[in-house]
């Protein structure tokens, strides 16, 4: 008898688990599933890649009958994660006859409404679109049995607190709630205390720490020299395979434009691009493209291995985010590198990160002047309407950047109009 069989799971679920080669539960599954099956709320601290998707989906599928109403809702921060979770949800639940729908912004709401109207049991979605559907009276959460908050820390980091609270307020009081998070900042704990019933706290594995094989470099730059600083690092340190994180979509677009202009092999991933373009980018990067330029949120939670360098074009205000991001480069086991560009007023963050992550960061002096000219994005690039529908032209024209001088200097491109408004310097933050 496998360990899944000893959990008394229904036969359709056991056969589905077999089909996808889940032979025995991972630690998070082994510890969380029996608790959820016994009716408890759980708060789980576990990393991406630990098998947490199964940990919440297995008990959901086990518990749902063929009701003709919506019984479970999974809230995730990004579309990519929504799609990843949906794939597993469909694999696990189709033999049980359950219907799954995925909802996220940037895609046709009509199609999603159509899917929901046909009758669904499980909905997986990002906060903004879920709210939209609730307000249009298309999603009714008053009978749900399960609510899952996946990647809770990043959802809060993205400013989704009000959205999540709103969604929770529309759910049935009789629900069971599961919260998953890689880190446990106090905001996450507050959500758990406020909206969960005497939850069981499970800590899976070690709290995320920075692996000692990573070397941490940083440079101090002024805003207008960030792209030149980036180019200097790339030329001098020659990363084999790097993720470059930008806080905003516009920042990501500019980095992309400059790398392309300098003949680097790069792909782009942010919330303003079409879903298919994002998927192509990810698959190209997995296949060997040297650079993936991503907004923090678009890349969060994705399982990308073999990265030699993690480059933070913008420093994050939260040291936990730094730890999470650079954790990727360590996956290859060998010597990974992290490089972060701070502007002068962010210098204190170096100290905060060093303290929290218990690491030393090494300041490097790069020959930035040498790359200043090559770091200017070309005007054509900046005006180009992306052939995939997410380029600069129409998306950003209302944000003060279109048609002005484009010197590669982020703060000229206007105020942050991201709807949760932390000022990030490079246009709109990538909220989903």
Strand residue runs (E) in 88-196: 100-103, 122-125, 146-149, 176-181
CA 378/CA 297 separation, integer angstroms: 26
Min dist. Cβ of residue 324 to ligand AMP (A): 14
DSSP assignment letter at 248: B
Give 31-36's long-range contacts (Cβ < 8 A, gap of 24+): 31/202, 31/204, 32/56, 32/59, 32/178, 32/202, 33/7, 33/58, 33/59, 34/7, 35/200, 35/202, 36/176, 36/178
Question: What length does the chain have?
Answer: 432
Query: Nearer to ligand AMP by C-beta: 153 or 309?
Result: 153
The distance of closest approach from Cβ of residue 47 to ligand AMP in the complex, given in angstroms and rounded to an integer, is 8
| Residue nearer to ligand AMP on the CB measure, 29 or 102 | 29
Eight-state DSSP code of residue 20: T
* Shortest reach from residue 343's CB to ligand AMP, in Å: 34
Is 30 buried (19+), middle (13-18) or exposed (0-12) by CB count in 10 A?
middle
At closest approach, how far in Å is the CB of 306 from ligand AMP? 15
Cβ-based nearer residue to ligand AMP, 21 or 212: 21
Q: What is the rounded CA–CA span in Å between residue 36 and residue 81? A: 22
Candidates 54, 73, 64; CA nearest to 129 is: 73
Q: Of 23 and 367, which has the nearer Cβ to ligand AMP?
A: 23
Where along the sequence are the contacts to ligand AMP (CB under 6 A)? 22-23, 25-26, 29, 48-54
Which residues, 6+ apart, have CB-to-CB distance to 89 below 8 Å?
57, 61, 74, 100, 122, 124
Of the pair 4, 392, the CB lying nearest ligand AMP is at 4
Q: Which is nearer to ligand AMP, 91 or 386 (CB)?
A: 91
Nearer to ligand AMP, 67 or 303 (CB): 303
User: Nearest distance from residue 354's CB to ligand AMP, in Å?
Assistant: 29
Rounded to a whole number of angstroms, the minimum distance from the CB of residue 378 to ligand AMP is 39
153 vs 320: CA distance, rounded Å: 10
Edge-first strand order for the sheet with 309-312 is 266-269, 291-295, 242-246, 309-312, 337-343, 215-221, 361-363
Q: How far is the CB of 52 from ligand AMP (least distance, A)?
A: 5
């Amino acid at each position: 008898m496998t360990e899944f069989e000893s959990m008394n799971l229904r036969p359709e679920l056991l056969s589905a688990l077999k089909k996808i080669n889940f032979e025995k539960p991972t630690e998070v599954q082994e510890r969380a599933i029996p608790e959820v099956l016994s009716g408890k709320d759980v708060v789980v601290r576990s990393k991406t890649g630990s098998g947490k998707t199964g940990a919440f989906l297995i008990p959901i599928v086990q518990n749902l009958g063929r009701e003709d109403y919506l019984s479970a809702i999974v809230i995730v921060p990004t579309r990519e994660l929504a799609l990843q979770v949906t794939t597993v949800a469909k694999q696990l639940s189709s033999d049980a006859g359950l219907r799954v729908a995925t909802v996220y912004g940037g895609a046709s709401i009509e199609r999603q409404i159509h899917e929901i109207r046909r009758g669904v049991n499980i909905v997986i979605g990002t906060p903004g679109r879920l709210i939209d559907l609730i307000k249009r009276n298309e999603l009714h959460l008053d009978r749900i049995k399960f609510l899952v908050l996946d990647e809770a820390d990043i959802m809060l980091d993205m400013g989704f607190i009000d959205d999540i609270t709103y969604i929770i307020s529309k759910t049935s009081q009789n629900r069971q709630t599961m919260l998953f998070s890689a880190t446990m900042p106090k905001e996450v704990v507050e959500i758990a205390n406020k909206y969960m019933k005497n939850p069981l706290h499970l800590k899976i594995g070690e709290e995320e720490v920075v692996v000692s094989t990573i070397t941490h470099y940083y440079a101090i730059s002024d805003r207008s020299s960030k792209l030149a600083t980036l180019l200097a690092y790339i030329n001098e340190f020659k990363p084999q395979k790097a993720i470059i994180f930008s806080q905003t979509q516009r920042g990501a677009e500019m980095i992309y434009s400059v790398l392309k202009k300098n003949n680097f092999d790069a792909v782009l991933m942010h919330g303003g691009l079409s879903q298919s373009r994002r998927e192509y980018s990810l698959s190209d990067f997995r296949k060997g493209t040297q650079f993936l330029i991503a907004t923090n949120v678009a890349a969060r939670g994705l399982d990308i291995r073999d990265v030699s360098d993690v480059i933070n074009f913008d420093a994050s205000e939260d040291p936990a985010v730094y730890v999470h991001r650079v954790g990727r480069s360590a996956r290859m086991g060998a010597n990974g590198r992290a490089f972060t560009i701070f502007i002068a007023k962010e210098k204190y963050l170096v100290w905060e990160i060093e303290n929290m992550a218990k690491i030393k960061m090494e300041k490097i002096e790069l020959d930035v002047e040498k790359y200043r000219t090559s770091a200017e994005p070309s005007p054509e690039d900046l005006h180009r309407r992306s052939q995939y529908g997410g380029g600069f032209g129409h998306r950003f024209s209302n944000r003060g950047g279109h048609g002005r001088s484009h010197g590669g200097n982020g703060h000229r491109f206007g105020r942050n109009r991201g709807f949760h408004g932390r000022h990030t310097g490079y246009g709109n933050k990538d909220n989903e």
